[in-house]
Structure 1
Amino acid sequence: MRSLTPYSVRCEGDLLRRLDAVRRAQVALEQQEYAVGTVCSAIPIQVGSAAATVAISLPASDAQRLHCVTDRLRRMEEATLTTLAFSISI
């Protein structure tokens, strides 16, 4: 695997463990793994056979806010999907 930053996951075993943790927690968190100076969270979305992700990045200096922002993002995503599901069923 090719590292994007000095913080990127570097071996397959670590990657598989991280993916398993994401599956259990239903959120992916990363700290400067994709871009130095940023932290990110991503929430998987699945509707039927369609899969997507909603993600947010913050400056690394705001890393302490990532969990709070992720919770807010999840609430917004759930509200949006509920609205879409309701409008489709009419």
Structure 2
Amino acid sequence: MIKNTIIALVATAAFAGAAAPAFADVFGDNVTSEMRDFTANSILAQLQQKGVNATAVEDWSGLIRAYVTLEDGSQTMQFFTPGSLEQVTL
């Protein structure tokens, strides 16, 4: 069971870099909900690996919008560039 979980996490991390640049394209009209979920989960995992306590992500005008829980328990939105996932200040 743990082995399968580790394999799934490694696969998600491996695909996250490839999925991030295409994030905006994935949310087009002709994409399945499974592909959207996979891409969002991949980007979410990559942000979490970078130390961002993100709970959800979505496409927002060409950027990645992440819902992030702060240390005090409050939640905020942070924006990141597709591909590099560098934080953007709006």
Q: TM-score, normalising length from structure 2?
A: 0.35
Structure number with greater CO (CA < 8 Å, separation at least 6) is 2
Q: Which structure would you say has the larger Rg?
A: 1
